[in-house]
Amino acid sequence: MRQGPAAAQHTQRPPSAAPADFARDRDWSRAELDRLWARGREFLGVEHAIMGGAMTWVSERRLVAAISDAGGFGVIASGSMSPDLLDAEITATAALTRRPFGVNLITMHPQLLELIDVCAAHRIGHVVLAGGLPGAAAIQRIRAGGGRAVCFAPALVIARKLVRMSVDAIVIEGSEAGGHIGPVSTAVLAQEVLPHVTEVPVFVAGGIGRGEAILSYLEMGAAGVQLGTRFVCAYESVAHPRFKQAFIRASARDAVPSVQLDARFPVIPVRGLANPATERFRAVQREVIDRFNRGELSQKEAQLEIEHFWAGALRRAVIEGDIEGGSLMAGQSVGLVSREQSTAEIIAELLDQALSAIAGREGRRRGAAAVLSASPGRLDAAG
């Protein structure tokens, strides 16, 4: 249907006004985002204060290098690697990128101090300690080797203790995350920790899958964020195609924590996609508990049988593609993974979402100001 001259006046804009406004808003939004995560960018030495979550078997040289090349901060998941294997992995990663990257070490590793020495030999600037409260010796060893120690804090009291132990930065990770999780959600942890821990940069993790969420935590005082699940389906990820397809098909509700049937036999909570192995784990627990109750097993033997169930299960899923019998560790942000993308595209998408949120807010502010300036009599009448 053709529009008359009056209608056209309302739908057409001056030829160059919209692009100019967009460019101005984009520049302002970028400056505002850079201001919000300036501390995290400076601490990590990167363009975007987005750390890659260390996912065993997934966060290896290719994905780590891709995250760093895209302006983020890739982190190698050392898992159970020996010092020699870690040395080789760092060397291979450094061959793929000239950008900064870090290494995640498990505090319970029997060769933790030797692994720290490997990082120091490679001049790794940031070492992330995970899997439990680190000892002072590990933190001191990292700093003595010229690195910065980054540690996880599941509560404010732990965060304050870590600050007293001279850690250089803290990650707070909520229960929405994949893999081993604590009991408190990301949103609550952020409210508990961010207003009170300002001595060191604090990065927020767990369930973050869009740029608007990144922006919200930055505005609460976070120095940056850490994302894992969103990168599993990157082209550069070595995860098996069946593992990636399980992520693409999943919704947030499919990522559930492991179930503990009896308090006498604790199960460390791990969040992953429900699959046939999840049900078998329940059945194994019931069987083992029954045998213990009949006196056929000691408590220690029963506990070991339960813990042994998942041995090697993550590798079977990630590398071999056994999505029925393996462990599909995933955070609840898996519901936001809709397709395979390049790492650069994922990070660009997150940035676009954050920048659009800032620009939209500024546009609404200017619009409201224009309405008020055009109608001063309304305020006078209201007064």
203-222: pLDDT as tens digits: 999 999 999 999 999 999 99
String of DSSP letters for 163-176: HHTT-SEEEEE-TT
Average pLDDT over residues 119-134: 97
Name the residue among 249, 272, 51, 93 with its Cα closest to residue 180: 272
- pLDDT number for residue 16: 40
Could you give the CA distance from residue 321 to residue 225 in angstroms, rounded to a whole number? 29
Given pLDDT bands bounded at 50, 70 and 90, which one contains residue 361? confident
- pLDDT number for residue 17: 43
Could you give the CA distance from residue 347 to residue 353 in angstroms, rounded to a whole number? 10
315-331: pLDDT as tens digits: 999 999 999 999 999 99
- pLDDT number for residue 372: 67
- pLDDT number for residue 360: 84
- pLDDT number for residue 383: 46
Given pLDDT bands bounded at 50, 70 and 90, which one contains residue 8? very low
Name the residue among 155, 150, 124, 153 with its Cα closest to residue 139: 150
The structural domains of the chain, ordered by start, are 28-231 (3.20.20.70), 241-335 (no CATH)
- Measured over the CA atoms of residue 91, residue 93, residue 94 and residue 96, the dihedral's sign is positive
Query: How would you list the strands of the sheet with 179-180, edge to edge?
Result: 179-180, 270-273, 255-257
Average pLDDT over residues 94-98: 98
Instruction: Indicate whether 113 pLDDT > 70.
Output: yes
Extended beta strands in the chain, E state: 50-52, 74-77, 101-106, 126-130, 148-152, 169-173, 179-180, 202-205, 224-227, 255-257, 270-273
Average pLDDT over residues 51-58: 97
Instruction: Indicate whether 166 pLDDT > 90.
Output: yes
Instruction: Indicate whether 7 pLDDT > 70.
Output: no
Task: Tell me the percentage of the chain whose pLDDT exceeds 90.
Answer: 85
Given pLDDT bands bounded at 50, 70 and 90, which one contains residue 362? low
Instruction: Indicate whether 229 pLDDT > 60.
Output: yes
Average pLDDT over residues 127-131: 97
- pLDDT number for residue 99: 98
250-277: pLDDT as tens digits: 999 999 999 999 999 999 899 999 999 9
136-147: pLDDT as tens digits: 999 999 999 999
- pLDDT number for residue 371: 67
- pLDDT number for residue 26: 77
273-319: pLDDT as tens digits: 999 999 999 999 999 999 999 999 999 999 999 999 999 999 999 99
